[in-house]
């Protein structure tokens, strides 16, 4: 809720997160950064795609697959093993 007791809009929440990250000295942080960080952390801990899907509450496995394709370190580790 805002100070005026109104619900936050998506745009207002996005701006708030950007401001919070910037205040913490983290450049480029967005409202989605926390979810992306959680997904990356789970992947590094060897969680499978279905576990990550459930934790992030995605309705589609395709949404979750984006996080796996972005994690180059994990892909390289798989190729080396």
pTM value is: 0.65
52, 41 Cβ separation under 8 angstroms: no
Q: Is residue 44 within 8 Å of residue 20, measured between CB atoms?
A: no
Domain count, the chain: 1
Is 45 part of any domain?
yes
Cα separation, 61 vs 75, in Å, equals 18
Q: What percent of the chain has pLDDT over 90?
A: 28
Give the CA distances from residue 44 to residues 3, 11, 21, 55, 68, in Å, rounded to whole numbers and listed in that order: 39, 31, 23, 15, 10
pLDDT in tens, 46-76: 899 999 999 999 999 999 988 887 667 766 7
- Domain enclosing residue 61, as ranges: 32-81
User: Does any domain span residue 6?
Assistant: no
Element at 51 (helix H, strand E): helix 49-56
């Amino acid at each position: 809720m805002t100070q005026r007791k109104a619900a936050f809009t998506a745009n207002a929440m996005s701006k708030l997160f950007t401001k919070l990250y910037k205040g913490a000295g983290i450049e480029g942080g967005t409202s989605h950064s926390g979810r992306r960080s959680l997904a990356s952390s789970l992947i590094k801990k060897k969680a499978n795609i279905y576990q990550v899907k459930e934790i992030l509450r995605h309705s589609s496995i395709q949404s979750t697959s984006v996080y796996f394709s972005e994690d180059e370190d994990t892909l390289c580790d798989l190729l080396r093993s």
